[in-house]
Amino acid sequence: DIQMTQSPSSLSAFVGDTVTITCRASQVIGSDLGWYQQKPGKAPKRLIYVASNLQRGVPSRFTGSGSGEEFTLTITSLQPEDFATYYCLQHYNYPRTFGQGTKVEVK
Amino acid sequence: VQLVESGGSVVQTGRSLRLSCAASGFTFSIYGMHWVRQAPGKGLEWVAFISDDGTREFYSDSVKGRFTVSRDNSEDTMYLDMNDLSPEDTAVYYCSLSEPLYFDYWGQGTLLAVSS
């Protein structure tokens, strides 16, 4: 099974900051990775598909990059509504696997 | 697109339960579907997948042999049959329609609590 190692597990930031979250796969997965945002009590929402493509309706301050084994989600100019937990998910093969999550909190 | 999970309950260790996911707003029979769960205060865990025609199934290691995913395309419904439940199965269970290159939809989730 592919292991997804996500870091950091949490971070604190100010509104307006730029934050970066990283996921590393235990093997090469091409670009078969998505990034999700989840707010308390809500279902996850996909922000980025195939590593670097912005889901329709998602603000352009969210950027995904990477391929192979290492991937990054960058949020520029953090907004109040961006404080949430973020997960990566590999869809290279089954079983699909999520990263452990990164909680983005207000500093 | 609407996905509505149901069947969550409080059950005792070792018992069985069936969850349902009723789909609407799209052609259910041409898409594979997923189950994902989230234990209280924990991260997301992918659980199972069933292909559009029900001929292919995949499971996480943690549920393989205990859980079975199925679907009824005439009723636009997916199921998750769960056996030999343990407290570690306590979670909100989501069904998801996710095409990597296109769209991604989730239900609101249904809560399963397994008591020891």
Segment A43-98, tens digit of pLDDT: 999 999 999 999 999 999 999 999 999 999 999 999 999 999 999 999 999 999 99
CB contact under 8 A, B43 and A89: no
pLDDT at A21 over 90: yes
Q: Say what the pLDDT of residue A103 is.
A: 98
**Residue A61 corresponds to which tokens in the numbers above?**
């301050």
A10-13 and A102-106 as β-strands: parallel, antiparallel, unpaired? parallel
- pLDDT tens, residue by residue, B33-75: 999 999 999 999 999 999 999 999 999 999 999 999 999 999 9
Q: So what's the pLDDT on residue B27?
A: 97
The residue in chain B having the minimum alpha-carbon distance to the alpha carbon of residue A52 is B101
Diameter of chain B measured on Cα atoms: 42
Contact A46 B98 (CB under 8 A): yes
- Closest-CA residue of A relative to B44 is A98
| Chain A interface test: which of B46, B61, B93 (most A C-beta within 10 Å) | B46
| Rounded CA separation B71/A7 (Å) | 36
Tokens of B83: 């056996």
Which residues in chain B touch residue A36, judged by CB atoms under 8 angstroms apart? 44
Give the one of A1, A44, A94 whose C-beta lies nearest to B44's C-beta.
A44
Instruction: Measure the CA dihedral A90/B82/B113/B77, to 10°.
Output: 70
Chain B interface test: which of A50, A94, A100 (most B C-beta within 10 Å): A94
pLDDT in tens, B69-116: 999 999 999 999 999 999 999 999 999 999 988 889 999 999 999 998
| Rounded mean pLDDT, B24-28 | 97
Indicate the length of chain A as a whole number: 107
Query: What pLDDT does B76 receive?
Result: 98
DSSP B31-45: S-EEEEEE-TTS-EE
Q: Does B107 touch chain A (CB under 8 A)?
A: yes
Distance between CA atoms of residues B21 and B8, nearest Å: 11
Which residue, A14, A2, A4, is CA-closest to A73?
A: A4
B 37-56: CB under 8 A from A: 43-46, 49
The pair of three-digit structure tokens given for residue A20, joined into one six-digit string: 């970066």
Whole-angstrom distance between the N-terminal and C-terminal Cα of chain B? 37
CA-nearest of B89, B67, B91, B75 to B18 is B67
Rounded Cα gap, residues A35 and B111, in angstroms: 24
Q: How much is the pLDDT for B100?
A: 87
In sequence order, what are the residues at sequence separation of 6 or more whose Cβ sits closer than 8 angstroms to the Cβ of residue B33?
B21, B23, B49, B50, B71, B78, B95, B96, B97
